Structure formats: structure tokens, C-alpha cells
Amino acid sequence: MTARSPLAHRAAELEWLEAVEVPFLTQLDVRAEPGTVAELGFPLEPNTSAYGAGWDLLWLGPDEWLVVADPGNAAAIAATLERSLGGGHHSVIDVSANRVVVELRGPARHGRLATACPLDLHTRAWGEGRCAQSVFGATPALLQERLGTTRIFVHTSFAAYLVDLLLAATA
């Protein structure tokens, strides 16, 4: 069976928006004691992200993180995390199919997001290394600011809605 990206048919519209779908990323939800994951480089400050071992590490809550990596690495990363977390209370769950990821580029990206997202995306409050759970329009969204780009994670069923909202923000 061949995997099919939920936004492959909207690539031209995404390109017009200075955006691209980042399909099939590995996404692992990790629950563990903060002290345990701190040793692995996981961020402990709320709404921050870090980069370590080739993975993006996004803070989701006091004992929850999202590990994001290149496609096809879920099993290997989960095994590494299981070994690293040892016998302590923890969980590592593959949620790769749960969210679609769109990466926005260009100077207009924060303005587009601000049309349907209540987060303060001004540079005084939002910059590289930040992440936050919020809403974009009527859908829950996770935003991650990276160097020159903003990633938006939404449930796969809202992928087309996300593109429609971004197009409306540009009109």
C-alpha cells in the first residue's frame, strides 16, 4: 500500500501561500517525569522547543512532549527513547498519522496566522524555539517556530480546512 499525503492535491495553492506540506513526519507523544527527560535534552520551559539527536522536541505540558523527526523513524526513535527512559514511569506513543504539518515561510506568515489564531505572534513574544497549542479558526493547532519558518500541526481531517483558512487570510 502506498501512503498518500492529505494535501498532495493542494501543492500549488500551498506554494502560492509560501507554504509546503511536510508529509509523513515521525511524531511520538512522550509522557515522562521532567527530570528524566531533561537529561535527554527535552525542554522544560513551557511553550518551548529544542533540537536534539536529529529530532525536534516540543513541550506540550508539564510531563508531555512531542518528538518530531524525519519520516519512517518512529520505531527506531521509540526504541531509543524506551531504552533511555529506562524503568521509570513513562509512555512513548506513535501519533505520526494524527496530524498533518504545513510549514509556512516568508515575511507574511505571522500575519496570515494572526487572522485566525489568538496567539501573540509578534517578535517580542514569539520567535525561534517557541511552540504553543492553540486554535487556528475552529481547529486545535500546534504551532512551532523554527528558523525562518512556522510549522502548523493540525489533525489530518482538518488539512483542507487549514489551507482554505490560509487562502482566506491572503485574499
pTM of the model: 0.94
Same domain for 118 and 134: yes
Residue 159's Cβ-count burial label (10 Å; 0-12, 13-18, 19+) is: buried
Same domain for 166 and 118: yes
CB within 8 Å of 125: residues ≥ 6 apart: none
User: What is the distance between the alpha carbons of residues 100 and 92, in angstroms, rounded to a whole number?
Assistant: 19
8 three-state secondary structure:
helix
Domain boundary among 79, 95, 111: 95
| DSSP secondary structure letter of residue 117 | -
Same domain for 82 and 55: yes
Residue 8's Cβ-count burial label (10 Å; 0-12, 13-18, 19+) is: exposed
Same domain for 129 and 76: no
Owning domain of residue 35: 25-95
Same domain for 144 and 83: no
List per-residue pLDDT tens for the chain, 171 residues long: 677 899 999 999 999 999 999 999 999 999 999 999 998 999 999 999 999 778 999 999 999 999 999 999 999 999 999 999 987 899 999 999 999 999 999 999 999 999 999 999 998 999 999 999 999 999 999 999 999 999 999 999 999 999 999 999 987
Same domain for 61 and 84: yes
